[in-house]
Amino acid sequence: MQTMDIVTWTSFKSMILSKALLMQYTQRDNIYDIYAPEAQTFLWHIVLAVDSDDAIDFDTNYKSACNKPLEIKAGAGRPIRAVPSAQPINTIQKFKGYQLIVAANATTASLDISFATDIYIKGGVVFSPTGFEIGDSVSMDAIYIANGAVIVPKLLDTIYLQTNTTPLNFVSTESMSLPSACKLTATITCPNGATINTQRVLNIAVEYFV
């Protein structure tokens, strides 16, 4: 992690607010060392003299919120995490396997993936024992089970399959929340599928937290 020194308190505060970072501080003699870690990449830092106007502002408006447990600030529907990791706090990691079959001469096929409880999707692996054609792809949407409405299109990015059998990973970097009222629908698109006279098989392993 690279330490980055900020010259003015005004600039430091502005950056903290814009990036929703958490401040940490230590006090030595008449000096405040104030830090703000960002994504295990940067450690923003400023030094304030304890009797300065900036330090008084820090004491009055910011100090009480400092030195909290570090966490990644998450967006709506995403977990708040205690460390820069995809795993939400108080959860366990699980895997579930599925098989999606594309019939001979078919250009598309879909598979519904649902869970009995609310989960956090991390990602998974797709692997084909039969191989696919160049340009074949798989995507996943989050769909409301009750009426089939697409809640989050392309919840996981489109994966272009390979002609060999190399496993391909897909990742939701912030572990998107998937309520039990919703399902994942995996869809394979095969532009040249009409000319393929044999069925193709895609194995899908989903990694999630619950």
For the segment 142-152, what is each residue's pLDDT rounded down to a tens digit? 899 999 988 87
**132 or 99, which is more confident:** 99
Q: Which residues contact 199 (CB under 8 A, 6 or more apart)?
A: 101, 102, 103, 104, 130
Average confidence (pLDDT) over 185-194: 92
- Mean pLDDT computed over 180-188: 91
* Helix ranges (DSSP H) in the chain: 9-19, 53-61
**pLDDT at position 141 over 50:** yes
Reference 192, options 121, 84, 108; nearest CA is 108
pLDDT in tens, 84-114: 456 777 888 899 999 999 999 999 999 999 9
Q: Other CB atoms closer than 10 Å to residue 20's CB: what's the count? A: 10
Domains and CATH numbers, the chain: 2-65 (3.30.720), 93-209 (2.60.120)
Per-residue pLDDT of 27-67, as tens digits, reads: 988 999 999 888 767 889 999 999 899 999 999 999 988 88
